[in-house]
Amino acid sequence: MEQLRAVRTLGLPDWCIAAGFVRNRVWDHLHGIQPPRPPADIDVLYYDAGDLSKEPEARYEAQLGGLKPGLPWQVRNQARMHIWKSLPQHKSTADSMIYWLETVTAVGVRLEADDSLTVIAPLGVDDLVNLRCQPTAFGRTRRDEYESRVASKRWRELWPRVQFLD
């Protein structure tokens, strides 16, 4: 909640904290790992098609570092993430997430002004909460990248109850 409160102060459009930060917290909880492991990074996503430069991302990371020092903030504008994947521009933060490699990572959470939580999960949360990992439709087209990612992140070792599906 502290991280969500910090990001909310930035007033980013169409934002959430997502990816490994959410996935790892959920899997740690479902594996009974307390306290949860420290995050490798805190993935903050937002969508601003009006500014595709990298500069705002660094500025937002610095602001978050001032609010919550020592945390591994990583802020990315999803309106420009299509470029390195050679895809048409994404339409929103949720739209960008369908082009991630695995379903369990395409889950984000936003803290609203009234302190309610909004879950952004264009591919659903079933795989995440049921300890299943499988490639997205996009991930199936990049199978080697998906397999390499699963191996390099050591998910099978860290969360042995996760079932890896095709």
Q: Are strands 73-77 and 132-133 parallel, antiparallel or unpaired?
A: unpaired
Structural contact between residues 162 and 156, judged by C-beta atoms closer than 8 angstroms: yes
pLDDT in 10s for each residue of the chain, 166 residues: 999 999 999 999 999 999 999 999 999 999 999 999 999 999 999 999 999 999 999 999 999 999 999 999 999 999 998 887 788 889 999 999 999 999 999 999 999 999 999 999 999 999 999 999 999 999 999 999 999 999 999 999 999 999 999 7
Beta bridge partners of 135: 102
pLDDT at 4: 98
Query: Candidates 3.40.50, 3.30.460, 2.40.50, 3.30.420; correct CATH number of 2-164?
Result: 3.30.460
Task: Compute the Cα dihedral for 8, 70, 104, 99 and give only its sign.
Answer: positive
Parse the chain into domains and list their residue ranges: 2-164
pLDDT at 140: 96
Nearest C-alpha neighbor of 92 from the set 106, 103, 102 = 106
pLDDT at 38: 95
